[in-house]
Copies of this chain bind each other. A is one copy, B any other.
Amino acid sequence: MDFEVSEKISIIVDMINEFVDKELIPLEPEFLTKNFSELLPVLREKQEMVKKMELWAPNFPVECGGMGLSLVEHGLVSEALGRSPLGHYVFWCQAPDAGNVEILHDHGTEAQKETWLKPLVQGKIRSCFSMTEVDMPGSNPVMLETTAVKEGDEYVINGHKWYTTAADGSQFAIVMAVTNPEAPAHLQASMIIVPTETPGFNLVRNIPVMGHEGDDYFSHGEILYQSCRVPLSNLLGREGQGFVMAQDRLGPGRIHHCMRWLGICSRAFDLMCHRANHRVISPDGKTLATRQTVQNWVAESAAEIEAARLMTLHAAWQIDNVGASKARDAISKIKFVVANTMNRVVDRALQVHGGLGMTDDTILAFFFSHERAARIYDGADEVHKTALARRILKSYQGKNIK
């Protein structure tokens, strides 16, 4: 056992932390008050700086133009980036593009890679992943209603999707649709590339979330696919393999999210400690840091963050070493542990800020409201707990326990 982080990654993480502090956090007041599209020019500048620092696309394969970090390494990078909502976007390892790159890299044809993967890795285009449906419980892929029917050399797609993150401004979507309705439940759907300019791809609205419609990358689209036709060659991988491919994508994707959430924890924790040290609560100059309740929150948060962090790095290490499939218990655990840890730490940090915590004068209110979703997407807490428990309980069958 060795908990040491390599010198290489330590240096990279230090560089990123400094960059986030100097270049990104100062942009947050604008981020909180303007449309995201208004920030695009300045973010483009920051992205150029990142490219010059050779820190672009840290998790993408080297052959695609990324840094090719392992999952443990990218986890540590992702934690540093997650400290600001702008981090992943500027370093170009943001969801859902990161996952789409993986899919295109693993399953794309040469032509698909040339057309979509290359410009995507370079940051010239953006993409979205169109799976979730209004009436589809996240936990049950069998209930997908969007269909892609073959007509001649085309798929004709019909369906109603929502929560297609970042659809607004994307050049293409990877759409999950039923192509083989007669197949067994988990082999009915396929992934298909749909350019967003295709007729029949209708972005109905950006769903208002916590009072904000958002725009461009920071948005969640509701999309009506109405006889939307794309060539058969837009199929990704093999027909009916959509869920298998999605599953492969989700394991590492959950590590990305968890480490990003740990970055949020880290930022919120810093703000909490800073506020506690500076908020005077009595005329003799005593601060909130002297209150045992605040001390309890600091201690508990520190312990919970460390627990969540070690678990996530452990899960990443498992994926790196034995593959996502054997790491699935570890992945299920971190999905609910880290999301809840993050929500709790942000809640405490907000409380320590009092009225200020409710305002947009800090980033905490944004984290509190928007990152509440962490306990829901990519499998709600309840879904992961049940799936994990069933596997565990099954493993005890036939064992003789005293």
Q: Does A178 contact B (CB under 8 A)?
A: no
Contact A274 B372 (CB under 8 A): no
* Contact residue among B4, B135, B351, B356 (Cβ-Cβ distance under 8 Å from A1): B4
* Contact residue among B295, B365, B376, B380 (Cβ-Cβ distance under 8 Å from A389): B295
1/0 per residue, CB under 8 A from B, across A33-61: the answer is 10000000000000000000000000000
Contact A354 B310 (CB under 8 A): no
Contact B291 A208 (CB under 8 A): no
Q: Does A150 contact B (CB under 8 A)?
A: no
Q: Does A32 contact B (CB under 8 A)?
A: yes
Q: How far is the CA of A60 from the CA of B361 in the complex (A)?
A: 37
1/0 per residue, CB under 8 A from B, across A356-374: the answer is 1111110001101100110
* Contact residue among B26, B310, B389 (Cβ-Cβ distance under 8 Å from A311): B310
Copies of this chain, count: 4
Q: Which residues of B contact A293 (CB under 8 A)?
A: 292-293, 296, 382, 385
* Contact residue among B163, B292, B355, B366 (Cβ-Cβ distance under 8 Å from A386): B292
Q: Which residues of B contact A314 (CB under 8 A)?
A: 3, 306, 310
Known contacts A25-B402, A293-B292, A308-B307; is A276 also within 8 Å of B1 by CB? no
Q: How far is the CA of A209 from the CA of B210 in the complex (A)?
A: 12
Residue of B nearest to A26 (CB): B402
Contact A209 B1 (CB under 8 A): no
Q: Which residues of B contact A369 (CB under 8 A)?
A: 210-211, 365, 368-369
Q: Which residues 255-292 in A have Cβ within 8 Å of B in the complex?
A: 270-271, 273-274, 276-277, 279-283, 289, 291-292
Contact A358 B372 (CB under 8 A): yes
Contact A333 B302 (CB under 8 A): yes
Q: How far is the CA of A277 from the CA of B277 in the complex (A)?
A: 29
* Contact residue among B2, B209, B307, B401 (Cβ-Cβ distance under 8 Å from A307): B307
Main secondary structure of the interface of A (DSSP, over half): helix
13 contacting pairs across A/B (C-beta < 8 A): A1-B5, A1-B313, A137-B354, A163-B355, A209-B360, A210-B210, A210-B368, A211-B366, A211-B369, A271-B401, A299-B332, A354-B380, A368-B372
- The residues of A with any CB-CB pair to B shorter than 8 Å are 1-5, 21, 25-26, 32-33, 72, 132, 134-135, 137-140, 142-143, 162-163, 207-212, 270-271, 273-274, 276-277, 279-283, 289, 291-296, 298-300, 302-303, 306-308, 310-311, 313-314, 317-318, 329-330, 332-333, 336-337, 350-351, 354-361, 365-366, 368-369, 372-373, 375-377, 380-382, 384-386, 388-390, 392-393, 396-397, 399, 401-402
